[in-house]
Amino acid sequence: EAQVTQNPRYLITVTGKKLTVTCSQNMNHEYMSWYRQDPGLGLRQIYYSMNVEVTDKGDVPEGYKVSRKEKRNFPLILESPSPNQTSLYFCASSFPGAVGTEAFFGQGTRLTVV
Amino acid sequence: AQSVTQLDSQVPVFEEAPVELRCNYSSSVSVYLFWYVQYPNQGLQLLLKYLSGSTLVKGINGFEAEFNKSQTSFHLRKPSVHISDTAEYFCAVSEFPGNQFYFGTGTSLTVIP
């Protein structure tokens, strides 16, 4: 089954404690991205990756890092989380260049930073 | 960069009534248009997409959307809603196939019994 898998689904952490949210897709997609969803603000892109070892900032990259060492994985790293990073996070993947392809989303990770 | 506007943040509607969720985007260049649905505690699921051709697009669960190039709009409609349609709906635009999706702020549809 084609899917994007995020882990964990729920995470509560304390300010300053480094954490990683994993994302993996099994569709051989080249394009992957991370979004955060906040009430009234919709989905805002944090980082994206066009391919292995190619990453770039989205609209709200401050406080986040990503890496793309393999095509299937695109982890989101918060080196020193702060309460304003409490949010719902989504990973997505798609196949660039294929007309009509949509973004496929993971189930989301609800992060609370206290 | 594209800008996507969903004009209604919340839409309450009675069961079996029709509904329209509005979406406008900023650019008149060729774009690809999508509507996603997010049920409570779930990820985003594709409802329908417009690529080219017929301006009326049919999706899952009885939803349809109409692309209007002159008004840069892509409104979502359903002639008769069900309780199970209660969800958050997002409009999205892509200029290049398969990457850089721009999302609206979402419309929360609540179906009232």
| Single-letter amino acid, residue A77 | I
Q: Do A105 and B101 touch (CB under 8 A)?
A: no
DSSP string, B12-71: EEETT--EEE--EES--S--EEEEEEE-TTS-EEEEEEE-SS-SEEE-GGG-EEEEETTT
Q: For B39-96, what is each residue's pLDDT tens digit?
A: 988 899 999 999 888 889 999 999 999 999 889 999 999 999 999 999 999 999 987 7
Domain B4-112 sits in CATH 3.40.930.10: no
- Dihedral sign computed on CA atoms, order A30, A47, B100, B22: positive
Residues 51-70 of B with CB under 8 A from A: 51
Residues in CB range of B53: below 8 A, 6 or more apart: none
Compute and round to an integer the Cα radius of gyration of chain A: 13
Domain borders along chain B are 4-112
- pLDDT tens for chain A, 114 residues: list them: 889 999 999 999 999 999 999 999 999 999 999 999 998 899 999 999 999 999 999 999 999 999 999 999 999 999 999 999 999 999 999 987 766 678 999 999 999 999
* Chain B residues touching A94 at Cβ < 8 A: 98-99, 101
* Chain B residues touching A106 at Cβ < 8 A: 43
Quote the strand ranges of chain A, DSSP E.
Answer: 4-7, 10-13, 19-25, 31-38, 42-51, 54-57, 65-66, 76-78, 87-94, 104-105, 109-113
